[in-house]
Amino acid sequence: MLTGRNPELVAPRREHGEKGLDLLEMRMTGRNFLVGDSLSIADISLFA
């Protein structure tokens, strides 16, 4: 996708990603960290 060779993949992947982000947003409402009360590898793993 980064190279632009498969532009048809962009829209469905974006939609897929946005679904995930919506879920994350719901999960993170009222919380600072994904799991527990402190930073963990769960939070770090979401960077990419």
Q: What distance, in Å, lies between the first and last C-alpha atoms of the chain? A: 15
The verdict on 21 binding another protein (CB under 8 A) reads yes
Q: Does 16 bind another protein (CB under 8 A)?
A: yes
The candidate with the shortest Cα–Cα distance to 24, out of 39, 36, 35, 14, is: 35
What kind and span of H or E run contains 47? none
Report, in Å, the least distance between residue 48 CB and another protein. 3
Regarding 10 and contact with another protein (CB under 8 A), the answer is: no
By CB under 8 A, name the binding residues for another protein: 16-17, 19-21, 23-25, 28, 32-34, 36, 38-41, 43-48
